[in-house]
Structure 1
Amino acid sequence: MDKIVSKIVALVVPGLVLFVALSATVITTALAAIGPFGILGGIAFLGIIALFSQAITEFGFERIYVQVIKELIKKGETKESILKKIDSYKISKQLKLELKYFLSENCPKDLDNLE
């Protein structure tokens, strides 16, 4: 029985070493793949994603999209071009309708008083 256990252990230990090595390789490969400058870029990209996700959870998608529309209006984009951009966003139909309503209510008004 001891010989069988020792044979199994002899096979498992290299398997664990291989598993750890593969895990580390997969992590470094994934970081290098998502980052613009290799592994360090991948780590930085994950940090940026963390900041964006924190902003989204703090403010919500609606407020962020409304702020984007306000900036587009301030930059002089036309109502039609903003409507095309809203239609191209990968968001729900309900949110698209809310953004279009916001645009229709605020585009003709004085741009300095947008809230």
Structure 2
Amino acid sequence: MDKIISKVAALGVPGLILVVAIAASGLSGAAAITVALAALGPGGIIGGIATLGVCGLLVQGLTEFGFDAIFTGVVKELMKKGETKASILEKIEKYPVSKSLKRKLREELDKM
């Protein structure tokens, strides 16, 4: 059941983004879709389609694993790439996440 929910959410969020972009265009029909897709990503319509695809992948990852696991994975990957604990702590403080998640990330960093 969880996998089904993550797939539906992964499809639904890019669709909602496209609907909002279409509504913001002020146009209707094919022109609205064209303008909305071109506005969503770099490189015109193809970039907009790619942006929606990336949004779908991000949402699927978030629904499957949750914010905690995603951000913890990012911290671990930063350590693998050779960043210092001080630079990672600076990044954690800038993340737009809750204080409790920042605390968890600092604790995870201390374990490394």
TM-score higher than 0.5? yes
In structure 1, stretches of 5+ residues that fail to align are 1-20, 107-115
Stretch deviating more after TM superposition (41-50 or 23-32): 23-32
In structure 2, stretches of 5+ residues that fail to align are 1-26
Shift of 1:23: 4.0
Shift of 1:24: 3.1
| Residue type of the alignment partner of 1:62 | D
TM-score, normalised on structure 2? 0.70
* Structure with higher RCO (Cα < 8 A, 6+ apart): 2
Give the Cα separation in 1 of the matches to 2:41 and 2:79: 32
- In the alignment, does 2:100 pair up with 1:94? yes
Shift of 1:27: 2.4
| Residue type of the alignment partner of 1:26 | A
Aligned residues: 86
Runs of 4+ in 1 over 6 A off after TM superposition: none
Deviations 1:2-35 (A, max 9, x none): xxxxxxxxxxxxxxxxxxx624322221110112
Partner of 1:55: 61
- In the alignment, does 2:81 pair up with 1:75? yes
- In the alignment, does 2:32 pair up with 1:32? no
- What SS does the corresponding residue of 1:85 show, helix, strand or coil? helix
Give the Cα separation in 1 of the matches to 2:90 and 2:66: 22
Partner of 1:66: 72
Partner of 1:8: none
Stretch deviating more after TM superposition (24-33 or 72-81): 24-33
- In the alignment, does 2:28 pair up with 1:22? yes
TM-score, normalised on structure 1? 0.68
| Residue type of the alignment partner of 1:69 | V
